[in-house]
Each structure stands twice: as C-alpha cells, then as structure tokens.
C-alpha cells in the first residue's frame, strides 16, 4: 500500500534585488492511501501542485515535511515507482534509434529484461516492431507515450505514475494510450487536468487546488457535487 502522510513541500526563492531568500510552499499537508492494485487519478489545473507531487512520489524530490511509504518502507522508491512525463519525445535521445534507447536503459540501470520481454510489451502496448528501428522524430506523440510506458514497465515497478501523458495528443492517439493503460496490471497514478480521461483510468480521485487537497475519494461521491462543478468550470 502507498501511504502519503502529512506531506508539505517548500522551495527556496531568492529575490534578485535585495537577495533575500524566501520559502514558497507549494504543497500543504497532503494525505492519502492507495491499496496495491488500485488506480488513482490526480486532478487539478496548472499550478495546483500535481507535477510536484508526482516528483515526490517517484523520489525525484524529497518532501520538506511528512513521509511517503510503499508497503511500510521509504527505501528505493525510485526503483518501485516509475514516472512517465508528458513530453516523451523530448525524453528520447534524438540521435538514437528507439531500440538503442531501450538497450541503454538496460545497461545503465542494470536491468535483466530480454528481447522476448520487449516483444511481449510491444504487443501489449499495441506497438509495431518496426518502431525499434526508427528515430524519435519519426514516431507520433501517441507512440512516444507508449514507448515511455514500455521503458517504465521494463523497470518492473509496483506503481506507474503518468504525468499528463495524454496532453497535446489528438483524440485517436489519446484513446490508444488510455486503452493501453487499462491493460496494465500495476497500480497507476494518472495525473491530468482531463476529467473524462481520469474517469476512464480510475474510480479513485485526488483533486488538488493551489497545493491543497480539495477532495479525496471516489468519483461516484462527486456526482452533481459543487466540487466537481467548480473543477469542471476551471
């Protein structure tokens, strides 16, 4: 189980004029649990703290206060929780073929996956094997997102965090990514501002507003609620 307990996040902000350093708080006392195998949608407009929370959950950054535990431990979260960011094309080396990028992942992270593992994931993710010989500029945004999912799954995480990976995709590519996510056995934390996409992936939702929890629970509890109306208007 993933447990997020009393998490705050501050950043130091240094003014250029008087050179004073101030602490800016971007997350306030975030608390939630996610059972193994369950999914969670995290909703919020830009600047609500979604991506900061993603970085904390995947151990890219540390919380200022509070703790994040997976199965009662806070060790090696970066190996147990994989983060996929929005701009997957920019995460791929432009001068390397896709196959080379995947092999480098194996080399530098000391992973033990086989060519057969990659082939099986290509089938699961509905990717054509020909993509392995292509360069990043030769694939679509939807294909790049699915390559990002593939690379994350090769690490064999317990939880997959998808941070706005359908943003900017056309309807066809967005649906292809959502359909792939529905097949994945790992828990998914789906971070988005897209309410309908969030509902497709998860029954559970955390809504953030200005770094604070506006709601945590099930989508079914939000039927005709003022919270959902307010979020939809945003």
Q: For residue range 103-112, what is the model confidence (pLDDT) as tens digits?
A: 988 888 888 8
Query: Is it the case that residue 15 has pLDDT exceeding 70?
Result: no
The share of the chain scoring above pLDDT 90, in percent, equals 42
What's the distance, CA 78 to chain centroid? 13
Cβ 188 vs Cβ 159: under 8 Å: yes
CA-wise closest residue to 197 among 86, 78, 70, 92: 86
What tokens appear for 56 in the block?
A: 């904390």
CA distance 162 to 149: 8
CA-wise closest residue to 184 among 163, 218, 158: 158
CA distance 234 to 231: 5
Burial class of residue 166 in the structure, from the number of CB atoms within 10 Å of its CB (0-12 exposed, 13-18 middle, 19+ buried) = buried
As a whole number, the mean pLDDT across the chain is: 87
Per-residue pLDDT tens over the stretch 38-93: 999 999 888 899 999 999 999 999 999 999 999 999 888 888 998 888 766 667 88
SS3 content of the chain, % helix, strand, coil (to 5): 40, 30, 35
Q: The pTM is what?
A: 0.84
What is the second-level CATH architecture of the domain 39-67+75-233? 3-Layer(aba) Sandwich (3.40)
CA distance 219 to 228: 9
Taking each helix axis from N to C end, the angle separating 141-154 and 98-108, rounded to the nearest 10 degrees, works out to 20
Q: Coil, helix or strand for 3?
A: strand
The DSSP element (H or E) to which 171 belongs, if any, is helix 171-183
Highest mean pLDDT among 59-73, 156-170, 175-189: 59-73
- Residue 26: its pLDDT value, please? 95
What tokens appear for 105 in the block?
A: 């992942």
């Amino acid at each position: 189980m993933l447990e997020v307990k009393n998490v705050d996040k501050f950043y130091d902000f240094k003014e250029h004029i008087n050179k004073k350093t101030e602490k800016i708080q971007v997350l306030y006392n975030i608390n939630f649990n996610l059972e193994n195998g369950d999914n969670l949608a995290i909703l919020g407009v830009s600047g609500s703290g979604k991506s900061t929370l993603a970085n904390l959950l995947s151990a890219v950054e540390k919380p200022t206060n509070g703790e994040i535990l997976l199965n009662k431990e806070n060790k090696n979260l970066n190996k147990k929780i994989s983060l996929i960011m929005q701009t997957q094309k920019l995460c791929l080396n432009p001068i390397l073929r896709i196959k080379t990028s995947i092999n480098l992942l194996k080399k530098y992270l000391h992973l033990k996956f086989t060519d057969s593992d990659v082939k099986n994931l290509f089938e699961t993710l509905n990717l054509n094997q020909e993509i392995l010989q292509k360069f990043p500029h030769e694939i679509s945004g939807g294909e790049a997102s699915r390559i990002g999912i593939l690379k994350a799954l090769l690490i064999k995480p317990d939880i997959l965090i998808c941070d706005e990976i359908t943003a900017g995709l056309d309807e066809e590519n967005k649906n292809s990514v959502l359909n792939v996510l529905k097949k994945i056995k790992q828990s998914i934390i789906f971070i988005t501002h897209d309410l309908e996409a969030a509902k497709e992936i998860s029954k559970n939702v955390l809504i953030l507003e200005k770094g604070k929890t506006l709601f945590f629970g099930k989508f079914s509890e939000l039927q005709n609620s003022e919270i959902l109306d307010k979020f939809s208007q945003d």
